[in-house]
Chain A
Amino acid sequence: MIREKVTIDANEAVAYVAYRLSEVIAIYPITPSSGMGEFADAWSASRIPNIYGTVPLVAELQSEGGAAGAVHGALQTGSLTTTFTASQGLLLMIPNMYKIAGELTSTVFHVSARSLAAQALSIFGDHSDVMATRQTGWALLCSRSPQEAQDMALISQAATLEGRIPVLHFFDGFRTSHEVNKIEQITVDDMRAMINDDLVLAHRNRGLTPDNPVLRGTAQNPDVYFQARETVNPYYQQFPAIVQAQMDKFAGLVGRQYHLFDYVGAPDAERVIIVMGSGAETAEETAKYLVGKGEKVGVLTVHLYRPFSVEHFLKALPATTRSIAVLDRCKEPGSAGEPLYVDVITALSEGLAAGTAPFKTMPVVIGGRYGLSSKEFTPPMVKTVFEELAKPEPKNHFTVGINDDLSHTSLSYDPTFSIASADVKRCMFFGLGSDGTVGANKNSIKIIGEETEYGAQGYFVYDSKKSGSVTISHLRFGPGEIRAPYLIGLGDANFVACHQFNFLERLDMLKYAAPGSVFLLNSIYGPEEVWDKLPMEVQTTIIDKKIRFYVIDAYEVAQKTGMGGRINTIMQTCFFAISGVLPREEAIEQIKKSIKKTYGKRGEAVVQRNFEAVDQTLENLYEVKVPGKVTSNFTRRAPVPAEAPEFVRDVLGPMISYNGDDLPVSLLPVDGTYPTATARWEKRNISLEIPAWDPDTCIQCGKCAYVCPHAVIRIKVYDPAVLEHAPATFKSTEAKFKEFPGMRYTIQVAPEDCTGCGLCVESCPAKNKTQVGLKAINMVEQPPIRETERVNWDFFLTIPEADRTVFQPTTVKNSQLLEPLFEFSGACAGCGETPYLKLLSQLFGDRTVVANATGCSSIYGANLPTTPWAHNKEGRGPAWSNSLFEDNAEFGLGMRLTLDKRLEFAHELLAELAGEMGEDFVAEILNADQSNDAGIQAQRTRVVELRKRLAQSRNARARYLNEIADILVRKSVWIIGGDGWAYDIGYGGLDHVLASGRNVNILVLDTEVYSNTGGQASKSTPRAAVAKFAANGKGLPKKDLGMIAMAYGYVYVAKVAMGANDAQTLKAFLEADAYQGPSLIIAYSHCIAHGIDMRKGLDQQKLAVQSGIWPLYRYNPALVDEGKNPLTIDSKDPTVSVQDYAYNETRYRMLVQSDEARAEMLMNQAREDVSRRWELYRQMAAMSYKKDEE
């Protein structure tokens, strides 16, 4: 049978099989497994049937714990059920996994294995999560590549149905889940042939039904629990053989033979590496290379890790084995060794004791850790492990791939060692996320994979920023399969493309270039002038490596052909033209075919525009005649300025310049604690346009700074004397503040930190009287003013901040005189969330502890290298932490409990020490009014005085008070997260924390989807909007979280939308913080996942309010005591139709474009939702709370 060759990643390959073998699929998004759920949901929405001819039912749950519960229920009632997850999600499934295994239930969970959050969260791949489930009783089956992942998905289903042991099928997150590789796709017939219908029927018949009732899930007593637990042993004993039999059956059908343990290498190997996952392929390929050089080495791949078959394991090992290195892709601190190592030791000991081992004496066995969090695992590392095994006393419990200068566990290796074959072409592309580089490369590798005989592989690396992010694409192609699950190494790339000219001053790309390779540069400078524009290091490398150098002005071609900033098609055409992988004409034909396939659905105009770009590319592509000498007089710039703090320079700097892999262990904090205020050193210069202030037009309203998502627009009022040392171009005008007579006023932009989102311009209400197209703040080109504005910015920073004690931040205008302590985040340009965080940091930042749920805000808030959370000159600022996704409310409550307890203790100590400290002074402290900044500042002064007095005391209790005296200054707890947390996974906790009555402030940055994982539906997603996991448009209305919270009666609740009413937002923040109980602010946050022009985000907020979709209100329980209704509706009756708001957004519009009838139906219902809710609020707000006058 001829099977189709497809070039896809493992997530798609696995989902393809899992979907077709299932009836019920319960999903929840988590990186890097979300793709599998997304495929399943999209296929279900498209009514694609499974192998039984019915469309699987795909249901999104509120958490992975929920998904596991739903899976358990579906299994208990006899459905063929699956789910997809990773990392913390898998941990949440563990309780149900015990149950499912204990009940001998056939199912497969597909896991893209990922690190667990310890000292930090990491989304990348290792086996920490899977290893945390090894005690649950599940079979653990590991795949090494996209091809294997697809195959094992089928084998695991066949095995679980036969053996009744549930299977956790896993593969390496990102490295395998996201690696695009050419695979042979198994067919529906293959699936049918592998799945025994009798076993499916048996599974169904074990399901609960009132027609044949049984009881499952009893409580057992000491008399029988133990025995009952032992009843399953035969199933576990038989399971390895069942899996092997299914592997053999699969081989008979498809031709690919797998074993529980696969050995590759010299038959008489003396040194053997034992390893699981993608690293096994690297080890295997390296071993083959070394065997070719005459070395007696081999690699044993573990496929079935649980149940661990000692018998099969021992049989797979060569009898000649003398030393073994067991590699674990996880860390188990404090253990005798990592899990696979311990299992191997056990198996060998048992085998030797029983006489079933292939050798008579125990080999030397060492264990090592590698590849945590997708750390590279490469042939040089494999080679060094083999070399270690040859030593008389090899290092045990080693690490490889890092420089451990602390505990000296690491093995050193020669990074220049390469097994790269000359037959395989290796190409690297450095681009921006926004320029479409990755998309083009995915298309290219598909073209090569599906239109040539070559094997093809693509892997894509992204940085952690959501704006201006750098992408690096690694493409390999050549004869045969590409089995190289690691990045292209130093000096190995035959083709290096730089899609952004300014990368040359930041990144050393050509270190990857092989001698005689090709370098393609997107350059505004033509072939005659480009040379002199290159940094010295680049020129040197081009000459030394005899690199062929090409340039194209892709942006010019893109502009001419209407492609805007998308240079993807143009650079792709250059790649094919230069690389010669296909004859030029054929390549162009294939590119166009691929364009048609990718963009055809979006309309002929899009296709034609791309065609035009392809056609115009080649005439603009030039080879540069490389001069024989270096002519440049400048070098690459340092990642951070020399004046940066030492930690920023030495530790964060290498991370910023993509050299974090070189950092030794000793330089990293032991407990995950990092300094704040570091984003200010990462001058990213990502925007070609920045705002410029026109003081003559400005009305000093502060709105531009208020809405700036990146805190790059700052306002100060100051003494005119300050201007004495001002740079010549520094702008200043008379301050129009009653609190600051005679002072000067400046709005200054941080030119190198601006993302160019333009929200400031959109928010500016002041228009130039003679040219209304200009406002008081206007976008201008950045490069011509970068240097002067940088000097102005530096000067601006030296101007003292306004004295918080002399004005009230109760107006938008005044609030923007407060220093932001959240600045320059890597959030999307124009982010709708970050302005709220900035405001919070301005108002309360110097006395706030933040509990931040996992999600966008934790990523732009704390993904290394830097953090936007900052401190003021006194060193005060938000103290921030992230626990998990699901527990954030409780986490924040814990913080509050500490503060409350500490304050209570401080008060007790003050009372004890009152005599010594001064009764009046203590009373002043205890009764201090800290309702505003002046009061808080006065209390800080008192605490300083208190500390002086305490220092003089001989009372042992005085030391206690001295340690905790800061608590006497009012502190706030802000609990922050997105709607995925607040409405779904964290809702139970959030509800409890609201109910607790404790003084916490909860800020929900409501984007109405799981933004961070790519826009999956949450319970906040409104009706009629399309989202992932709601591909047909959400059919039910948005959950009314505010209404639920109001039901408690003692929770402060506000619904705000900064773009619609900035003053109301400010008021809500101030009231929430002032309220001595739980507060909840639900903040409309426009988002890239809405599919809007982000520059118009504020307009959308306005329309959301005007249409009634997002009513503004404040519910302040404190008003009840005054006999007032606690609910104040701050927005007017709807004046705009819901459609006029909704159809500006792709999330709503795409449903009209894909299913007009459903869109119309849902929109009608959405309109009814709005009217009903509005009426309900109106009635609530009209209720009388007047106290009985009698």
Chain B
Amino acid sequence: MIDLSTQYLGLKLKNPLVASASPLSKKVDTVKKLEDAGIGAVVMYSLFEEQIIHESHALDYFLSHGTESFSEALTYFPDMEHYNVGPDGYLDMIRKLKESVQVPVIASLNGISTGGWVDYACKMEQAGADALELNIYFLPTDLELEGIALEDAYVELVRSVRAQVKIPLAVKLSPYFTALPNFARKLVGAGANGLVLFNRFYQPDLDIETLEVVPDLVLSTSDELRLPLRWTAILYGRLQADLALTTGVHSVEDVVKATMAGARVSMMASELLSRGIGRVSEILADLEKWLETYEYHSIQQMLGSMSQQAVADPAAFERANYMKVLQSFDRRL
């Protein structure tokens, strides 16, 4: 019997397939379908503090706009008893999911203030989340902001949350750090139990007909696996933290690669959004078949087997690798 189980953030998962943060977790029904399809764990869609604040201000603006200006129309909307503009809806969803599914539920948070991070993290823990993924999504555009200052702020943030929350913490990173391993070490030192590699930013496009910058959501492809794969392989075994690989996981081969590089779990969203939740069971079946074909008896057996530390040529993950590609390309000329 092949053992697909894995451990992630101290949680026992029946397999390494995890649904990463996406709209799929916005409904209990779809999460149940994910569970039925065999998913190992679910990371919920992210709660964005900035969005909460924006929604709150927007509601205030629109309920106030035009009021108390004209005798016949002192207001324009009925005064509702309650508006679900805070984190309550998200917290309710954690509770509902915990009541409805058995698989671990990992809450995901993107804050903009230290107070907000800590406050919402505590609330998520209280609502029953099995673990927390801190999604440190921030695009530094300020010319005065130095990299070290930003890194320090992230580390301090993880420390603050760690001090208040007992459930496991993962940090979802972007690949855009000058010295990623050092930064990763600091995050783990501040209390992160896991690192999720990597966050994938939506990149806006330019519409040259309308001359507008347009948001354009492009789902990932397997090609994008390379970047997280490399860093997973480099970091594996060197930090006291679990690694999760996300971005570019679409097939059984991708899962196998992620695991061999050192990821305890492989996270998927694009594949499920584009081809349906049924892909979970297909990939799991493929995975079992793959292990069987290649005579692995468990996931654990292959975990990190192709990490930088485990391969014969560690330099293959470093600059030399680039040189080699060029050379091989030259030979084809």
Enumerate chain A interface residues (CB-CB to B < 8 A).
Answer: 31-32, 34-35, 38, 41-42, 45-46, 123, 174, 432-434, 436-439, 442, 460, 462, 464-466, 469, 471, 562, 564, 566, 599, 601-606, 609, 767, 772, 828, 859, 1011-1015, 1026-1028, 1031, 1088-1089, 1091-1092, 1146-1147, 1150, 1152-1154, 1156
5 nearest A-B residue pairs (beta carbon): A433-B69, A603-B56, A1014-B73, A438-B68, A1031-B78
Q: Given that A436-B64, A604-B56, A1091-B76 are contacting pairs, would A1154 and B83 also be in contact in the complex, using a CB cutoff of 8 Å?
A: yes
- Contacting pair A767 B211 (CB below 8 A): yes
List CB contacts (< 8 Å) of B228-250 with chain A: none
Q: Given that A609-B57, A1091-B63, A1154-B83 are contacting pairs, would A469 and B69 also be in contact in the complex, using a CB cutoff of 8 Å?
A: yes
6 more contacts with CB within 8 A, not counting A436-B68, A1088-B65, are: A45-B78, A433-B68, A433-B69, A604-B86, A1015-B73, A1091-B76
In the assembled complex, how far is the CB of residue B246 from the closest CB belonging to chain A, in whole angstroms? 28
A-B contact count (CB 8 A): 150
Q: Given that A433-B69, A605-B52 are contacting pairs, would A41 and B59 also be in contact in the complex, using a CB cutoff of 8 Å?
A: no
- The digit string for B58-78, where 1 denotes a CB below 8 A from any CB of A, is 011111111111111111111
Whether, in the assembled complex, B330 has its beta carbon less than 8 Å from a beta carbon of chain A, the answer is no
Whether, in the assembled complex, B80 has its beta carbon less than 8 Å from a beta carbon of chain A, the answer is yes
Residue of A nearest to B212 (CB): A772
- Contacting pair B80 A1150 (CB below 8 A): yes
Per a CB cutoff under 8 Å, which of B61, B64, B77 touches A1150? Answer: B77
Please, how many angstroms separate the alpha-carbon atoms of A45 and B67 in the complex? 22
Residue of B nearest to A1028 (CB): B78
Whether, in the assembled complex, B85 has its beta carbon less than 8 Å from a beta carbon of chain A, the answer is yes
Please, how many angstroms separate the alpha-carbon atoms of A1156 and B93 in the complex? 12
Q: Given that A1088-B65, A1091-B62, A1153-B59 are contacting pairs, would A601 and B52 also be in contact in the complex, using a CB cutoff of 8 Å?
A: no
- Contacting pair A1026 B59 (CB below 8 A): no
Please, how many angstroms separate the alpha-carbon atoms of A1145 and B77 in the complex? 12
Per a CB cutoff under 8 Å, which of B55, B77, B80 touches A603? Answer: B55
Chain A neighbourhood of B72, CB < 8 A: 31-32, 34, 123, 859, 1012-1014
Candidate in B72, B77, B83, B86 with the most chain A CB atoms within 10 angstroms: B72
- Contacting pair A1026 B69 (CB below 8 A): no
In the assembled complex, how far is the CB of residue A464 from the closest CB belonging to chain B, in whole angstroms? 8
Per a CB cutoff under 8 Å, which of B61, B74, B81 touches A1014? Answer: B74
- Contacting pair A772 B211 (CB below 8 A): yes
Please, how many angstroms separate the alpha-carbon atoms of A464 and B71 in the complex? 8
A-B contact pairs, 22 of them (CB 8 A): A31-B71, A433-B69, A434-B69, A442-B68, A462-B69, A464-B71, A465-B70, A469-B69, A564-B61, A603-B86, A1015-B75, A1026-B80, A1027-B77, A1027-B78, A1028-B78, A1088-B66, A1089-B77, A1146-B63, A1153-B55, A1153-B59, A1153-B80, A1156-B89
Please, how many angstroms separate the alpha-carbon atoms of A462 and B73 in the complex? 11
Chain A neighbourhood of B68, CB < 8 A: 433, 436-439, 442, 460, 462, 471
In the assembled complex, how far is the CB of residue A709 from the closest CB belonging to chain B, in whole angstroms? 14
Please, how many angstroms separate the alpha-carbon atoms of A1031 and B70 in the complex? 22
Whether, in the assembled complex, B285 has its beta carbon less than 8 Å from a beta carbon of chain A, the answer is no
Whether, in the assembled complex, B148 has its beta carbon less than 8 Å from a beta carbon of chain A, the answer is no
List CB contacts (< 8 Å) of B33-73 with chain A: 52-53, 55-57, 59-73
Please, how many angstroms separate the alpha-carbon atoms of A42 and B55 in the complex? 23
Q: Given that A605-B53, A609-B57, A828-B66 are contacting pairs, would A462 and B71 also be in contact in the complex, using a CB cutoff of 8 Å?
A: yes
Candidate in A41, A46, A123, A437 with the most chain B CB atoms within 10 angstroms: A46
Residue of A nearest to B83 (CB): A1153
Residue of A nearest to B69 (CB): A433
In the assembled complex, how far is the CB of residue B95 from the closest CB belonging to chain A, in whole angstroms? 14
Please, how many angstroms separate the alpha-carbon atoms of A435 and B53 in the complex? 21
- Contacting pair B80 A433 (CB below 8 A): no
Q: Given that A433-B70, A462-B69, A1012-B72 are contacting pairs, would A603 and B78 also be in contact in the complex, using a CB cutoff of 8 Å?
A: no
Chain B neighbourhood of A1091, CB < 8 A: 62-63, 65, 76-77
In the assembled complex, how far is the CB of residue A56 from the closest CB belonging to chain B, in whole angstroms? 16
- Contacting pair A1150 B59 (CB below 8 A): yes
- Contacting pair A602 B63 (CB below 8 A): yes
- Contacting pair B76 A1089 (CB below 8 A): yes
Chain A neighbourhood of B70, CB < 8 A: 433, 462, 464-466, 469
Chain A neighbourhood of B73, CB < 8 A: 1011-1015, 1089
Please, how many angstroms separate the alpha-carbon atoms of A436 and B60 in the complex? 12
Candidate in B60, B62, B65, B78 with the most chain A CB atoms within 10 angstroms: B78
Chain B neighbourhood of A1026, CB < 8 A: 77-78, 80
In the assembled complex, how far is the CB of residue B96 from the closest CB belonging to chain A, in whole angstroms? 12
Chain A neighbourhood of B211, CB < 8 A: 767, 772
Chain A neighbourhood of B65, CB < 8 A: 434, 1088, 1091
- Contacting pair B71 A603 (CB below 8 A): no
In the assembled complex, how far is the CB of residue A783 from the closest CB belonging to chain B, in whole angstroms? 23
Q: Given that A601-B83, A1014-B76, A1026-B77 are contacting pairs, would A433 and B66 also be in contact in the complex, using a CB cutoff of 8 Å?
A: yes
- Contacting pair A1153 B75 (CB below 8 A): no
Whether, in the assembled complex, B327 has its beta carbon less than 8 Å from a beta carbon of chain A, the answer is no
